[in-house]
Amino acid sequence: MSAPQAPALCRATVDFLARKHGHFIGGKWLPSASGETFRIFDPATGADLGECAAGDATEIDAAVRAARAAFEGPWSTFTAAKRGAVLWKISELVQQNFQQLCELEILDNGLPTPLAQYVCGMFVPEFFRYYAGWPTKIEGATIPASPQGKLPGEALSFTLREPAGVVGAITPWNSPLPMVMLKIAPALATGCTVVLKPAELTPLTAMRLVEICQEAGVPDGVINLVNGYGAKAGAALAAHPGVDKIAFTGSTAVGKQIVQAAAGNLKKVTLELGGKSPVVVFDDADLEQVIPGAVRACFFLQGQNCMAGTRLFVHEKIHDKVVAGIAAIASAMKIGPGLDPSSEFGPLISGPQRERVSGFVEAGRKEGAEIVCGGKAPSRPGYFYEPTVMTRVSNEMTPVRNEIFGPVLCVQAFGDDDFERVARDANSTVYGLSGSVWTRDIGKAMKMVRRIDSGQVSVNMHAAIDPSMPFGGNKQSGWGREFGREGLEPYLKTKGVTVTW
Ligand code: NDP
C-alpha cells in the first residue's frame, strides 16, 4: 500500500505563496528600501516557499510613524463597541479563511494537520471572540479621595483607563499565528496600535492575519508589519523612541536584550520567555491519563513549545511502567510532513534547530543519561528528529538544566519521602512558566501546586490554556501575563482625575 499523499493546496494558498512578500505599513504592502530579502522554506522538505523583504530601522521607523498617526487619528475615534465589533469580525474572517490559514501555518512551521485545524478553526477565532467582549468592559474606578482637604460633595476623583499607545510586538516561530494573535487582540481591544515583527522563519500567517484585520475594518496604520531579522528589524523596534510598549515572546536571552534596548525611553515591556516545566506524577495517579498526558505535555509541537513538560518526576513504584508507556507511544508516532493528514509528529523548524536538539541529546548521553527511545534524526528530507525519552538523569545534567525546545523528555524517579525534594527539584531551573501535578489526592496536588514556582500549574492535565486564563512566567520565564483580563493590563495606562467645583 502506498503512503497517503498530502492533499493539493487550495487556490488561496497557492496565490498567496506566489506573491513577493513585503512589509505592511500604513495599510499598504511595500518593499524594503535596502532591497534586501530572505527566503521562506518548508521545514518538512526544505523546499523554497518564496521571497520576503527584510526590513531594518528604515521600515521600522516608517511603521512606527504610521502607527502613531493612526493612534492619534482614525483609531482614536472608534468607540469601544466599534472596536469590539472589529474583533468579532476578525474572528469570523479567520474562520472563513480556515483552509488557507491552516495550509500556510503548516507550510511555515511544520505542525501536524489536526493541530493546525484546532489552532485556525477554534483557538484563534475563540480568542478574538473573547477579546471582542472586553472593550466595552474596560472600566476605571471612583475613588473616595479628599485632596487638599476637600469634603465629600466638593470633589470627584476617578480613574481613566487609556490605551498604552504604539505597541511593538515581536513574536517567535514555534506557534506563529497564535503568537501574533496574542499581541493583536488585546492591543485592538484597548485601542492601541501595533508594529509587528514576526519571526523571519515563519512570516506567512502573520502577513495574512494583518490583511484579515484590515478586511475586518481596522483602519490603515493600526496594524503594521515589518518582516526581517531580529538583530536588525527586531532590535530597531525594541529601541525606537516612538514605541510606548514592547510585547515580546521568545527566548530568555533575547528577552534580556529587549529590556536593555527598551531602557532608552523606558518603554513598558512584557516578556513571555522560555520554560523547562516539571511534570510531577505520584504513585496514585491514573496511568491511563498520565501516560498519554505526559506524551502530549512534552511532544506537542515537537517539543518546540514554551510550556512543554520536559522534566518528568515520577514515583519509583510506577517509574518503569510510565517510562515504558511513554516510550511505546512516542516510538509509534507517525513522523511526517504536517500536510499529510496521517502525520502525528512534524519536523523541527530548521536545520540549526535540529543541530541544537541533537547537541543536547549527545551531551546527555556523554553525561550518563540512558536514551530509552529516539535520540536521532530519521533519514528522510526535512528537519525531523525522533521523540526522545532519557532516564538516569540528574538536575545538573545539560539537557535537564537547559530549555532544549525540542522533543526531549528527561525522567527522574522519586520515593515516598521525597515530596519536598521533588518540589525543590521542580524549581531548580531559572525558568518558571508551566507545570503539572498528577494524583488522585487533591490535598497532595494542592500542596505541590503551592510549591511550584510557575505562572501556571495544572492538575491531571498539562498546559491548561484558555482565552480567559492568565498565562505567563515567573523567574526568568518572563514579565507580565497574557490571556484573560490580566492580559489587557499591559496595554492600558491609568490616569487619576480629580474634578472640583
Ligand atoms: P528568539 O528569542 O530567538 O526570537 C524571538 C523573536 O525575537 C523573533 O522574532 C526574533 O527575530 C526576534 N529577535 C531576535 N533577536 C532580537 C533582538 N536582538 N532584538 C529584537 N528582536 C529580536 O526566540 P525563537 O524565535 O527562537 O523562539 C523560541 C523561544 O521562544 C523559546 O525560548 C521559547 O520558550 C520562547 N517562547 C515563549 C513563549 C511564552 O509564551 N512564554 C511561547 C513561545 C515561545 P528572528 O527570528 O527573525 O531573528
pLDDT at position 6: 67
Give pLDDT, residue 144: 96
Q: For residue 365, which of 393, 334, 406 has the smallest C-alpha distance?
A: 393
Atom nearest to 261 CA in ligand 1: 19
Pocket test for ligand 1, best of 111, 237, 249 (most atoms within 8 A of CB): 249
Run means of pLDDT, 10 residues per run, the chain, 501 residues:
67 97 98 98 97 98 99 98 98 98 98 98 98 98 96 97 98 98 98 99 98 98 98 98 98 98 98 98 98 98 98 98 98 97 97 98 98 97 97 97 98 98 98 98 98 98 97 98 98 98 94
Strands (E), 407-457: 408-414, 431-432, 436-438
The Cα angle at residue 470 between residues 473 and 297, in degrees rounded to 5: 65
Phi-psi region of 303 (alpha: psi -120 to 50; beta: other; left: phi over 0): left
pLDDT digits 0-9 by tens, 269-297: 999 999 999 999 999 999 999 999 999 99
Nearest protein Cα to ligand 1, atom 42: 306
Residue 376 pLDDT: 98
Rounded to an integer, what distance in angstroms lies between the CA atom of residue 410 and that of residue 298? 10
How close is the Cα of 224 to the center of ligand 1, in Å? Answer: 19
Q: How far is the CA of 54 from the centre of ligand 1 (A)?
A: 17
CA of 483 from ligand 1 middle (Å) equals 19
Q: Structure pTM? A: 0.97
| CA gap 40, 50 in Å, rounded | 5
- Quote the ligand 1 centre to 171 CA distance (angstroms): 6
4 CA distance to ligand 1 middle (Å): 35
CA distance readout (Å), 42 to 3, 48, 180, 407: 20, 7, 20, 19
Place of cell 483607563: 161
Angle at 195 (CA atoms; ends 113, 176), nearest 5 degrees: 15
Q: Say how many Å lie between the first and final Cα of the chain, rounded.
A: 85
Place of cell 545538573: 396
Ligand 1 atom 11, closest CA? 230
Tell me, in angstroms, the distance from the centre of ligand 1 to residue 108's CA: 16
SS3 letters across 274-327: CCCEEEEECCCCCHHHHHHHHHHHHHHHHHCCCCCEEEEEEEHHHHHHHHHHHH
> Which pLDDT does position 7 carry in this prediction?
76
- Whose Cα sits closest to atom 12 in ligand 1? 230
Point out the residues that are catalytic: 272, 306
Q: Which ligand 1 atom lies nearest to the CA of residue 473?
A: 41
Q: What are phi and psi of 305, to 5 degrees?
A: -145, 125
CA nearest to 405, candidates 291, 310, 270, 290: 310
Ligand 1 atom nearest to 198, measured from its CA: 9
Residue nearest to atom 32 of ligand 1 (CA): 251
Q: Which amino acid is at 284?
A: D
Bridge-based pairing state of the strands 166-170 and 245-249: parallel
Q: Whose CA is nearest to atom 48 of ligand 1?
A: 230
Atom 31 of ligand 1: nearest residue by CA position: 251
Residue among 109, 170, 360, 486 to mutate when testing ligand 1 (max atoms within 8 A of CB):
170
Residues with beta carbon inside 6 Å of ligand 1? 170-174, 197, 199-201, 229-231, 234-235, 238, 249-251, 254, 257-258, 272-275, 306, 403, 405, 433, 473, 478
